[in-house]
Amino acid sequence: MSTLPPGATIGIIGGGQLGRMLAMAAARLGYRTIVLDPQGDCPAAQVANAQIVAAYDDAHGLARLGTASDVITYEFENVPVEAARSLAANHPVYPPPRALEVAQDRLTEKEFLNRAGISTAPFRAIDSGAQLAEALDLMGGSGVLKTRRLGYDGKGQKVFRDASGGQTDGVYEGMGAVPLILEGFVPFATEISVVAARGLDGKSRAFDPAENLHRGGILKSSTVPAKVAPQTVEAARTATLRILDALDYVGVIGVEFFVLGDGSVIANEIAPRVHNSGHWTEAACTVSQFEQHIRAICGLPLGDPKRHSDCVMENLIGDEVDQARALHAEPDLVLHLYGKSQARPGRKMGHFTRLTARA
Ligand code: AMP
């Protein structure tokens, strides 16, 4: 595919806030967007040129999206791989469906990372209560049990610390008797993430790593620069670029890492899409992660990811969105609200980034 000219149409599967911010970035570069999402008037559809209201696996809806789009992308990692593959047979789809396949299953993801020479927590596939008891024993009684598929924001997880006999009884069944993975508990010093992009020409650029704080399994804040050693930054960046090449990736990716006490990094998770921990880029960089993704999938040169300010991005979760009025009054603050009408607990309603001069 050559460079898409302004006026071309980008199809986006998924209509949440990430799709919304992609559509806004696309509009600024002169592109049109069409969003496929089952919920009418979803956050992305409010700012896109058109919406197809259909399920993510609806063959007719997907066919309409293909016909209407010059390139197709997605804003969440649980897009059915078959849907992405069937579209990719006749249309450019970026990131490649292989990236979805790898990221949708925590077991496949860890095997892929290890094959690429990137460290992860030790892990075991768990398909029965007996396997759980045995694997937890092997890991010394500590570990994090997760569903292999469809887990996000800490959902579908159980932490064991110094568990002894009997504590695993009924846990496998309690988690739905679905395929699980037990990971060794990582005594991390900090968590960081790298948001990076790879273009159609195979060239990659990475934004500075963010230091992330989670609350109740949900990202609360991202601080840049991360307080980590230069070798840690380099290790995380190198691992991320290796992942991009191994997947022959096009677009933006987010990779989450645990940083150990000695400064080494362990990859936790790959998100084949723009990432919550990259929202700060819209305020502290000339080219945001959203614009970078649009540039990559449209065959434009990638932007310079350098940061002009230090910053802290905070999510507004549930009724924290009520702070918006006060935040409007603050200088050097970029506020972003997602157009969601109901502030349910745990729901990401918006975010803001506070800028300070570069140290
Ligand atoms: P995840 O859904 O895998 O991103 O996990 C959500 C959060 O749980 C992570 O950001 C960590 O704070 C924590 N966590 C997940 N896996 C582990 C692990 N193996 N060891 C320690 N903490 C973990």
- The strand pairing partners of 55, in sequence order, are none
Whether 154 shows a pLDDT value over 70: the answer reads: no
| Spatial CA neighbour of 164 closest among 133, 121, 185 | 133
294 Cα to the center of ligand 1, angstroms: 30
| β-strand pairing of 251-259 with 265-271 | antiparallel
192 shares a domain with 175: no
The pLDDT value recorded for residue 115 is 98
What's the whole-number average pLDDT of the chain?
A: 96
Does any ligand 1 atom lie closer than 6 A to the CB of residue 214? Answer: yes
140 shares a domain with 63: no
The pLDDT value recorded for residue 34 is 98
65 shares a domain with 145: no
Does any ligand 1 atom lie closer than 6 A to the CB of residue 4? Answer: no
Residue nearest to atom 13 of ligand 1 (CA): 217
Atom of ligand 1 nearest to the CA of 184: 19
310 shares a domain with 172: no
- Backbone φ and ψ for 220, nearest 5 degrees, come out as -100, -50
Number of domains in the chain: 3
- The pLDDT-based confidence of 231 (bands split at 50, 70, 90) is very high
| Spatial CA neighbour of 110 closest among 178, 182, 204, 11 | 182
Q: Is the dihedral of CA 102, 226, 217, 131 positive or negative?
A: positive
Rounded-to-integer distance, Cα 92 and Cα 145, Å: 37
17 shares a domain with 84: yes
> Which of 151, 183, 215 finishes a domain?
183
Whether 153 shows a pLDDT value over 60: the answer reads: no
Q: What is the pLDDT of residues 31-48, one digit of tens each?
A: 999 999 999 999 999 999
- Domain annotation covers residue 256: yes
Does any ligand 1 atom lie closer than 6 A to the CB of residue 121? Answer: yes
57 Cα to the center of ligand 1, angstroms: 29
- Here the tokens at position 158 are 């159980």
Question: Which stretch of 80-84, 171-175, 293-297 has the lowest confidence by average pLDDT?
Answer: 171-175
pTM for the model = 0.96
Whether 156 shows a pLDDT value over 80: the answer reads: no
- The strand pairing partners of 255, in sequence order, are 194, 270
> Which of 183, 201, 223 finishes a domain?
183
Kind and range of the H or E run holding 59 = helix 59-68
The pLDDT value recorded for residue 157 is 86
Q: What is the pLDDT of residues 16-33, one digit of tens each?
A: 999 999 999 999 999 999
- Domain annotation covers residue 206: yes
62 Cα to the center of ligand 1, angstroms: 34
Range of the domain at 237: 188-357
The pLDDT value recorded for residue 83 is 97
Q: Which residues contact 81 (CB under 8 A, 6 or more apart)?
A: 97, 100, 101, 104
- Domain annotation covers residue 234: yes
C-beta separation of 292 from 305 below 8 A:
yes
Angle of helix 289-297 relative to helix 17-28, nearest 10 degrees?
A: 70
- Domain annotation covers residue 138: yes
> Which of 143, 162, 183 finishes a domain?
183
Does any ligand 1 atom lie closer than 6 A to the CB of residue 192? Answer: no
CA 323 to chain centroid: 25
- Domain annotation covers residue 116: no
328 shares a domain with 195: yes
| β-strand pairing of 210-215 with 190-198 | antiparallel
Helices (H) and strands (E) in the chain, counts: 11, 17
Q: Which residues contact 126 (CB under 8 A, 6 or more apart)?
A: 132, 135, 145, 172, 179, 180, 181, 182
CATH number at residue 219: 3.30.470.20
CATH number at residue 168: 3.30.1490.20
130 shares a domain with 79: no
Q: To test ligand 1's pocket by mutation, which of 258, 265, 275, 276 has the most ligand atoms within 8 angstroms of CB?
A: 258
Residue nearest to atom 19 of ligand 1 (CA): 185
258 shares a domain with 171: no
- Domain annotation covers residue 107: no
Rounded-to-integer distance, Cα 350 and Cα 341, Å: 12
- The pLDDT-based confidence of 152 (bands split at 50, 70, 90) is low
Angle of helix 81-88 relative to helix 97-104, nearest 10 degrees?
A: 170
Which amino acid belongs to residue 346? G
Rounded-to-integer distance, Cα 276 and Cα 298, Å: 22
The pLDDT value recorded for residue 150 is 83
Whether 201 shows a pLDDT value over 70: the answer reads: yes
89 shares a domain with 165: no
260 DSSP 8-state letter: -
330 shares a domain with 237: yes
286 shares a domain with 209: yes
The pLDDT value recorded for residue 162 is 82
The pLDDT value recorded for residue 78 is 92
CATH number at residue 80: 3.40.50.20
- The pLDDT-based confidence of 165 (bands split at 50, 70, 90) is low
Q: To test ligand 1's pocket by mutation, which of 105, 106, 107, 144 has the most ligand atoms within 8 angstroms of CB?
A: 144
Strands (E) across the chain are located at 9-13, 32-37, 50-53, 71-74, 123-126, 143-147, 157-160, 180-183, 190-198, 204-206, 210-215, 218-224, 251-259, 265-271, 309-317, 333-337, 348-357
332 shares a domain with 240: yes
- Domain annotation covers residue 128: yes
- Domain annotation covers residue 263: yes
Whether 347 shows a pLDDT value over 80: the answer reads: yes
Q: What is the pLDDT of residues 108-140, one digit of tens each?
A: 999 999 999 999 999 999 999 999 999 999 999
